[in-house]
Structures are given as C-alpha cells and as structure tokens.
C-alpha cells in the first residue's frame, strides 16, 4: 500500500524544447530538473539533474525526433534514478499552457473537451498552444491513468476589468476574432504577488503590488488585493515592455507603414517585431549581462538600448501606480529583475515623490531569497522576489488532484 501520491511532474513544452521538473509536494522539494532542446534536429540535447540523489548533471546529445521521443527520453532518465513515470507516487502531471483565452480562469483537469478548447485558441497562440497540446497528448499516452492538469499563463489575468481587457476597436470585429487583452506570465505574476505579500507579513488581500517580470520576455502587472487588474501583454506577448527580442508597445501604424513602404509581408513584420526587435534590435544583444558589459566599456548603442528599456519600464510603473491609486510594493522578478541591480535602480530613479526608492547597499546584495531593496521606512516597498513558475504549477496541480 502506498500512501497518497505526492509527486508532480511539471512539463513546459515549447515548439522545439521540453523543460521539466519533478517535485514532491509533501515538502515542496525538487527531485529532478531537466531540459530537452532542439527536438527534431540532429543535435538534440538532453540535460538532466537528479537532485533527489545528489547526482551530477547528465548531458547527452543525440537525435530526438519529436516530443514523444523527448518525453520517453525524460522518462528513461527519471527511471535511472528510481523516479520513473510508472511510479505510484506520481499524483499528477502539470502542464504549462500558454493561452487559455477567457474561458480558463483556473487550473483545469485535462479532458478531451479541454484539449479541444486549447486547440480552438491556436489562432491567438499559433506558436505556443500546438506545442502545449503535443506535450499533453504525449504525456497522456505514457500515463493514461494519471490526472493531467493544465495551468494557463493567462488565467491570473482573467480578473482584469473590461476597461483594461478591451482594445478600443469595433466591438463586433473584436469579439468575432477573440481580440482582447489576455496577458501572459500569469503563473509568475500570481506567485510573485503572493510572495511579496508574505515578505511584507501581510495577506495578499491586504496589499496592492506592481509586479515586474523581466526575463527574456517581460511583462508588468497591477495586482489589487491578490487580483490582477491590468497587465502589459495583450492579445499576444508582443505588447508592453521592451523585451529581449520583442518591441513591446508601438504605434500599430508602423505595421501598415512597413507593409506599404518596405514591401514586407505580414510574416516578415511578425518576425521583425517578435524576434529582431527589443534589445537585440536596438543594440544586437538581448542578454542584459552583455549589455551592461558593453555600457561599462563605453558602448553608446548599448547605453541607448538600456535607456529605452528603462524608460518604458518606468512608464509602466507610473501607469500602474495610477491604476492602483495606492501601491504597497513594487516587485522585480525573473532573469533581469532578479539579477540586474542597475535596471532596478534606474527604473525607480526619480520616483521619490511617489514614495519609491532603492537603497544602493541592499540593491547590490545577491541572494536567492525574496528581499527588500527599498530604504528603511520607505512608503512603498521595493522588493526582489525570485519567481518559481514550476513550483506554482506543481502547487496548483496538486491542490486540484488531491482536493
């Protein structure tokens, strides 16, 4: 007799990659983490770290034809550590699903109808949802008896009021094509806003937080009493902040202009704005570490890219301050937010009148723990709160299947 199963496998399936983590929700520990990259290419790569056994990271390069082969390879690695997918200790598989539209406001146990609805959303998430469905189908084939849970990137943002969620375009056209602001990175915004409240010693319902998720993709959200009231990404992840390779906000007429005057196709403009814009378009690098190195070496292009990035960020802080009226905390998270002290310093510089400031000494500290970087007795807390989307997906999945 096994006690109630407590393990959750979290899968984040991209178009050519699968990231995974096996967690034990009994103590929220991580048993194994890994990544399969370049699926479908000759040089596919699998990296697996068996944290439970304290074993070293194992890496192998071998052709992995598709997602099914990838998941089988993951299953073999886990089995080698005694953590196989056939284990009765596995309670659920939690899938990150990028687009849940208006309908999915909560983590959801996956049925055929749920998959059909995720499929219906492909027109608004053409890159992400097909890969997510492949991951789900493959996992179902491996363990048909096990509950599979979809945790949607959009779910946390479904509480946005219509005033924030609607674009000011013809309502009938918008509704016919499901055009509205959905927002993404919701799992991270949910986790970080809650952890920020915890850091302040308060219940999430008692605090208003501006969350700045600054990774390669970047988004801001305004969270009032634990509920999202606005976020910077929209119909797709293209809207909002300047990102690693995405432009963020621009006049939509730029697109007509390029089509009419530069002879670019819609697909070419899509690629320009999603893959060749943002920091990489501005200065040729999208890694903030490299940009800072170049700035320190006197590179003007890198300095201007940094200024444009920070200017947009500051505008969103101001906008969400106004949306919330009263702000208890601003929380920085993800690769840039957690590591780039100069970005945090520059983003709140000059906002002392709003009660916002960064203490240079605290801002310079590097740590994995949530921490305050505002001065003692500041009116608004400024915090660095490491995100953990996998833990959040596992927590939500486990809560659903063990209820």
Residue ranges that bind ligand ADP, judged by CB under 6 A = 215-217, 244, 286-289, 334-336, 339-340
List, edge to edge, every strand of the sheet that includes 108-109: 58-61, 45-49, 29-37, 18-24, 7-13, 90-97, 148-152, 108-109
Cβ nearer to ligand ADP, comparing 226 with 244:
244
Nearest position to ligand ADP, beta carbon: 335
Angstrom distances, CA of residue 352 to CA of 359, 377, 396: 12, 13, 38
Cβ nearer to ligand ADP, comparing 92 with 151:
151
Q: Are 196 and 187 in contact (CB under 8 A)?
A: no
**Alpha carbon distance 153, 210 (integer Å):** 18
What's the closest the beta carbon of residue 289 comes to ligand ADP, in angstroms? Answer: 4
Tell which phi-psi region holds residue 60, choosing left (phi > 0), alpha (psi between -120 and 50) or beta. beta
- 346-376: buried (b, 16+ CB within 10 Å) or exposed (e) per residue? bbbeebeebbbbbbeebbeeeeeebebbbee
Radius of gyration of the chain (CA): 21
What's the closest the beta carbon of residue 22 comes to ligand ADP, in angstroms? Answer: 19
What's the closest the beta carbon of residue 369 comes to ligand ADP, in angstroms? Answer: 16
What's the closest the beta carbon of residue 215 comes to ligand ADP, in angstroms? Answer: 3
Cβ nearer to ligand ADP, comparing 101 with 215:
215
153 is catalytic: yes
Cβ nearer to ligand ADP, comparing 124 with 288:
288
**Alpha carbon distance 233, 392 (integer Å):** 20
Look-up of token digits 């292009």:
301
Cβ nearer to ligand ADP, comparing 192 with 273:
192
- Indicate the burial class of 162 (C-beta count within 10 angstroms; 0-12, 13-18, 19 or more): exposed
Main-chain phi, psi angles of 163, to 5 degrees: -60, -30
What's the closest the beta carbon of residue 176 comes to ligand ADP, in angstroms? Answer: 32
What's the closest the beta carbon of residue 335 comes to ligand ADP, in angstroms? Answer: 2
Which of 153, 230, 285, 328 is flagged as catalytic?
Answer: 153
Q: Where are the beta strands (DSSP E) in 285-380?
A: 329-333, 371-372
In the three-class reduction of DSSP (H, G, I as helix; E, B as strand; rest coil), residue 4 is classed as coil
Residue of 362, 262, 347, 267 lying closest to 309 (CA atoms): 347
Cβ nearer to ligand ADP, comparing 339 with 402:
339
**Alpha carbon distance 170, 180 (integer Å):** 11
What's the closest the beta carbon of residue 216 comes to ligand ADP, in angstroms? Answer: 4
Chain centroid offset of residue 188 CA: 6
- Indicate the burial class of 163 (C-beta count within 10 angstroms; 0-12, 13-18, 19 or more): exposed
What's the closest the beta carbon of residue 7 comes to ligand ADP, in angstroms? Answer: 24
Cβ nearer to ligand ADP, comparing 316 with 321:
316
Cβ nearer to ligand ADP, comparing 285 with 328:
285
Q: How far apart are the first and last CA of the chain?
A: 20
Give bridge partners of residue 231 from the DSSP assignment: 221
Active centre residues (catalytic): 153
């Amino acid at each position: 007799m096994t006690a109630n199963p407590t393990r959750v496998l979290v899968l984040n399936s991209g178009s050519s990659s699968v990231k995974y983590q096996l967690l034990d929700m009994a103590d929220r520990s991580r048993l194994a983490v890994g990544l399969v990259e370049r699926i479908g290419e000759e040089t596919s790569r699998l990296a697996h770290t068996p944290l439970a056994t304290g074993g070293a990271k194992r890496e192998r390069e071998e052709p992995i034809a598709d997602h099914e082969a990838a998941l089988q390879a993951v299953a073999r690695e886990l089995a080698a550590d005694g953590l196989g997918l056939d284990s009765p200790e596995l309670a659920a598989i939690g899938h990150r699903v990028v687009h849940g539209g208006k309908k999915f406001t909560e983590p959801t146990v996956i049925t055929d109808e749920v998959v059909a609805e995720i499929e219906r959303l492909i027109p608004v998430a053409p890159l992400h949802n097909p890969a997510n469905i492949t991951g789900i189908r493959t996992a179902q084939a491996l363990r048909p008896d096990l509950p599979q849970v979809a945790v949607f990137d959009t779910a946390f943002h479904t509480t946005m009021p219509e005033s924030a969620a609607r674009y000011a375009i013809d309502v009938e056209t918008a509704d016919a094509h499901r055009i509205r602001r959905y927002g993404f990175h919701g799992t991270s915004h949910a986790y970080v806003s809650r952890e920020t409240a915890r850091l302040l010693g308060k219940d999430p319902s008692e605090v208003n937080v501006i969350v700045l998720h600054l990774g390669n993709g970047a988004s801001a959200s305004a969270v009032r009493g634990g509920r999202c009231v606005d976020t910077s990404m929209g119909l797709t992840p293209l809207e909002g902040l300047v990102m690693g390779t995405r432009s963020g906000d621009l006049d939509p007429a730029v697109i007509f202009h390029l089509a009419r005057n530069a002879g670019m196709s819609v697909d070419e403009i899509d690629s320009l704005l999603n893959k060749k814009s943002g920091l990489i378009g501005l200065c040729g690098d999208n890694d903030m570490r490299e940009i800072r190195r170049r700035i320190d070496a006197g590179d003007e292009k890198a300095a201007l890219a940094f200024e444009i990035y920070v200017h947009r960020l500051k505008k969103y802080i101001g906008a969400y301050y106004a949306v919330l009226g009263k702000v208890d905390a601003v929380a920085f998270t993800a690769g840039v937010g957690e590591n780039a002290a100069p970005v945090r310093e520059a983003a709140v510089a000059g906002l002392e009148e709003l009660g916002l400031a960064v203490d240079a000494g605290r801002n310079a500290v590097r740590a994995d723990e949530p921490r305050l970087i505002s001065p003692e007795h500041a009116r608004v807390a400024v915090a660095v709160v490491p995100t953990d989307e996998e833990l959040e997906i596992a927590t939500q999945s486990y809560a659903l299947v063990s209820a």
